[in-house]
């Protein structure tokens, strides 16, 4: 059986203890596969050494797309297709009527950014309807934290390090099964 299919699960009951354990495990140069928590833990991504998310960049791009769609849509509808005199606002030039269109531009910018970000997040996270949960221990949805690390050649040493970091339970799991 291959060593690479084995992982060690360390269960913690406190997020501060988990943060200290992550720093200790990283200092020992062990690879952390995943951490499962019942709630977001501030600073955990940085402690794990994860790259910053690019979701903010996509939010900006989606907002710009929404602004362009709003501008093109309003120019076509209110100026080209069916110009109307509404409250004395000019209907022969988009630029002159633009102050009246600012709320629509804002709303479509936010709409596109929010909705496309959610869709991007779900696709990137591989979350879709009827997807089976990948959570290895049901307790992590309530009040426990689970650190999953790759099992190395010296498993006893890894067990000792994890127990010394405050893990209440440490088990070796074969992911092949």
List beta partners, residue 11.
146, 169
The pLDDT value given to residue 177: 58
Confidence of residue 55 (pLDDT cuts 50, 70, 90): confident
Residue 150 has pLDDT above 60, yes or no: yes
Residues of the chain with CATH 3.30.70.120: 3-38+143-174
Q: Give the contacts of 142 (CB within 8 A, at least 6 positions apart).
A: 38
Give the whole-number percent of the chain exceeding pLDDT 70: 97
Residue 174's pLDDT band (cuts 50, 70, 90):
confident
CATH number of the domain located at residue range(s) 3-38+143-174 in this protein: 3.30.70.120
Task: Return phi, psi of residue 37, to 5°.
Answer: -130, 150
pLDDT tens readout for residues 10-22: 999 999 999 999 9
Q: Please give the biggest Cα pair distance in the chain.
A: 81
For residues 151 and 8, the answer to whether their CB atoms sit within 8 Å is yes
Q: Is 102 exposed, middle or buried (0-12, 13-18, 19+ CB in 10 A)?
A: exposed
- Write the CB contacts of 125 (distance below 8 Å, at least 6 apart in sequence): none
Please provide the size of the chain in residues.
177
């Amino acid at each position: 059986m291959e060593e690479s299919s084995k992982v060690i699960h360390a269960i913690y009951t406190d997020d501060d203890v988990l943060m200290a354990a992550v720093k200790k495990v990283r200092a020992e140069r062990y690879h952390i596969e995943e951490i499962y928590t019942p709630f977001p833990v501030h600073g955990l991504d940085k402690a794990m050494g994860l790259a910053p998310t690019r979701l903010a960049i996509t939010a900006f791009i989606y907002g710009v797309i929404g602004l362009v769609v709003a501008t093109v849509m309003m120019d076509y509808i209110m100026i080209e297709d069916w110009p109307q005199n509404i409250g004395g606002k000019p209907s022969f030039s988009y630029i002159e009527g633009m102050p009246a269109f600012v709320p629509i531009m804002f709303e479509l910018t936010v709409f596109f950014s929010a909705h496309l970000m959610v869709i991007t997040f779900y696709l990137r996270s591989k979350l879709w309807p009827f997807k089976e949960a990948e959570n290895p221990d049901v307790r992590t949805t309530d009040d426990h934290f689970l650190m999953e690390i790759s099992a190395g050649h010296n498993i006893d040493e890894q067990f000792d390090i994890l127990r010394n970091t405050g893990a209440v339970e440490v088990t070796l799991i074969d992911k092949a099964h």
